[in-house]
Chain A
């Protein structure tokens, strides 16, 4: 039996080694969550333009039926996770730390879970052409399920613009507590493998690497067994280090090349996809099922029974918490995702979306929040930063208001992994400074764009007013001219009649002349 591929791995700079707390849920099999009473499906669960609804209130839909269609290139459609009746399309709290509303379709399941007739699989998915595979992936609404939620079909079409040779499957799952990818690899490795083969066909690559961190030995063995007989598929063991799951650092570890700044991994011939995305691709092509559900890890010190749950998109988080036995105490933090890059959840009403891989209820000792102290320039953050940046100087510049200086130090290359804040002895919220600065810079760009537009509009208006005035002047001049001509004609006519009356006396003279 083949083992871990004997590949030379490269080192990444920096990084941290948080305690992974995975044993809380690593041994829990994936369980199906019972059907919730209401589903709230947001129209924006992906990077790009929100989907446009095709259904209206009162309509009855079937499982897998399309609810909203994608808008443009960077977008994804949304499908009904189960059969039922549409209760409304409107604002609902988003799965986002701001607590703002997002346009959401509310569906009441009827309990029958009937599939739509259109959802039919293809008997021979490998007979499809790469374009057709990408097309079906797009129609199934599949997005990156590691949390980035970038529309996967766009990534599958990258081979048209870039020379690609490797597909890397990201099974690192470097965030503490999360075990959903781990369980997926252990329980359904063939699904993952088939999805990966389809993606490789769509991309046209010959080399496929499954990258799995070494703290998941059972997942590694399961995948090794599943890829037996497929020489182009190799399982690679990664050193356990955060942020090994970051696309750019994963690729650097495997092939030793750094992704150019402001570029994609495709620039160096590699495309990275998540394990769960691969399983979803298999579902979509072989069984015709759009992306309707996903595995979510519910964990943390404050939750009674940490579990890995298979839930429908749109299930309110409250249902997951209740199924896991509720909280011991009011949790100190409620987070969507992992503790390093996860976002606070505004309330338990918000639904599970395509990118939610975890729900963590953390207790006070796990969070270890302490009072913020001034920076002592210990440079732990510089040592920990995997991107070679200067977090302490960047934060100092941002505090002083000079955002341009922090950009020069590399603010826009920051991947917001949180390693710097993790090690800071003064407990300074470095990542919040950087996120604030990035947002502020984007806001200023928008303002500048608005200024240019305002200028353009103001100039257009001035030009319009000038044109109106000019037209008026010309019209006046024209009128004057006409009036003058008319007057001249009148006077000429008068003279003519005057002349005519006086010519009675002079016809003999004229006849003689």
Chain B
């Protein structure tokens, strides 16, 4: 009886010491996960996720406060890579296939007020005061900041059309 008590106590003390060592020597400073997640986000600080920028969004995702499907510009690709980074499984079938949109300025309505290009996070709008503005389609991420700003509502968000180079076969219908 006594020997059993002694052995169990020794075991407990021994393991406690081991755990203490581990907690001290293997401790992780800060959360490097946040920085890695922020790297993966688009970085255009568009705010569509509801957080004020990609940094706070990364923090929220790292802490598990935000779902990994939070970023519309990132789409399914981003959700899948976040899933593999965090080691969680995600059901992407619910995620809306939001078609990416590009801003387009209707030139006959533009008054050259310069409000939009000052807001564009990627400098995708060309223009200056009293000159008609135009959007560089390649640089536009569809964050809609210019769309919100324009006083004459001359900006239209158009879905990107597939070209011969980008078209591909859709997924087949499921079986019965």
Using a CB–CB distance below 8 Å, which chain A residues touch chain B?
44, 94, 96-98, 100, 102, 371-374, 398-399, 401-404, 426, 428-429, 432-433, 435-436, 438-440, 442-444, 446-448, 450-451, 453-455, 457-461, 464
Contact of A100 among B44, B122, B124, B167 (CB under 8 A): B167
Closest B residue to A398 by CB, please name it.
B171
CA distance A150 to B164 in the complex (A): 16
**What bracket does the count of chain B residues touching chain A fall in?**
35 or more
Instruction: Evaluate whether A451 and B80 lie within 8 angstroms (CB atoms) in the complex, with A432-B172, A458-B122 already known.
Output: no
Q: Pick the residue among B78, B80, B167 that contacts A404 (CB under 8 A).
A: B80
Q: Does B42 sit within 8 A of A, measured CB to CB?
A: yes
Are A451 and B74 within 8 A (Cβ)?
A: yes
Taking Cβ atoms with an 8 Å cutoff, the residues of B that contact A are: 42-45, 73-78, 80, 84, 91-93, 100, 120-124, 138-139, 141, 162-164, 166-176
Find A401's partner among B43, B92, B120 (CB 8 Å cutoff): B92
Separation in Å of the A103 CB from the closest CB of chain B? Answer: 10
Contact A443-B42, Cβ < 8 Å, known A98-B162, A371-B176, A454-B141: no
Contacts of A436 in B (CB 8 A): 168-172
- Decide yes or no: A454 and B122 within 8 Å by CB, A98-B167, A442-B168 being known contacts: yes
10 contacts between A and B (CB under 8 A): A97-B169, A404-B84, A426-B175, A432-B169, A435-B168, A440-B168, A446-B166, A454-B43, A454-B73, A459-B43
CA distance A354 to B103 in the complex (A): 37
CA distance A102 to B93 in the complex (A): 33
User: Which 3 residue pairs spanning A and B have beta carbons closest together?
Assistant: A439-B168, A444-B77, A455-B43
Closest B residue to A395 by CB, please name it: B172
Q: Within 8 Å CB of B92, what residues of A? A: 401
Contact of A457 among B77, B123, B174 (CB under 8 A): B123
Asked if A458 and B121 make an inter-chain contact with CB atoms under 8 angstroms apart, the answer reads: yes
CB distance from A499 to the nearest CB of B (A): 51
Q: What residue in chain A is nearest B167 (Cβ atoms)?
A: A98
Nearest residue (CB) in B for A50 is B164
Pick from B42, B100, B168, B176: contact of A438, CB under 8 Å: B168
Query: Across the interface, do A461 and B175 meet the contact criterion of CB distance under 8 Å?
Result: no
A100-B163 in contact (CB<8A): yes
Assess whether A443 is in contact with B166, with CB atoms less than 8 Å apart: yes
**From B42, which residue of chain A is reached at the shortest CB distance?**
A451
Min Cβ gap B73→A in Å is 8
| A433:B77 contact, CB within 8 angstroms | no
Taking CB atoms, residues of chain B closer than 8 Å to A374 are 175-176
State A399–B92 Cα separation when bound (angstroms).
11
Q: Choose from A94, A399, A458, A464 the contact partner of B43 (Cβ within 8 Å).
A: A458
Measured CB to CB, the closest approach of chain A to B43, in angstroms, equals 4
Inter-subunit contact A461/B43 (CB<8 Å): no
Q: State the CA gap A455–B73 with chains docked (Å).
A: 12
Q: Are A461 and B122 in contact (CB under 8 A)?
A: yes
Give the Cβ gap from A355 to chain B, nearest Cβ, in Å.
14
Knowing A374-B176, A399-B174 are in contact, say whether A457-B139 is a contact too (CB < 8 A): yes
Given contacts A436-B171, A451-B73, 13 further A-B contacts (CB under 8 A): A373-B176, A374-B176, A399-B171, A404-B84, A426-B175, A432-B172, A439-B168, A447-B74, A454-B42, A454-B44, A454-B73, A455-B42, A464-B123
| Closest beta carbon of chain B to A449's beta carbon, Å | 11
B169 lies within 8 A of A428 (CB): no
CB distance from A341 to the nearest CB of B (A): 13
Indicate the member of B43, B76, B120 with the most A CB atoms within 10 Å: B43
A460: chain B residues at CB < 8 Å are 123
Measured between beta carbons, the chain A residues less than 8 angstroms from B174 are: 399
Contact yes or no, A453 B169, CB < 8 A: no
CB <8 Å contact, B171 and A433: yes
CB distance from A247 to the nearest CB of B (A): 23
The residues of B that contact A399 with a CB separation of less than 8 Å are 171, 174
Q: Which of A399, A401, A428 has the most CB of B within 10 A?
A: A401
A448 contacts B77, CB within 8 Å? yes
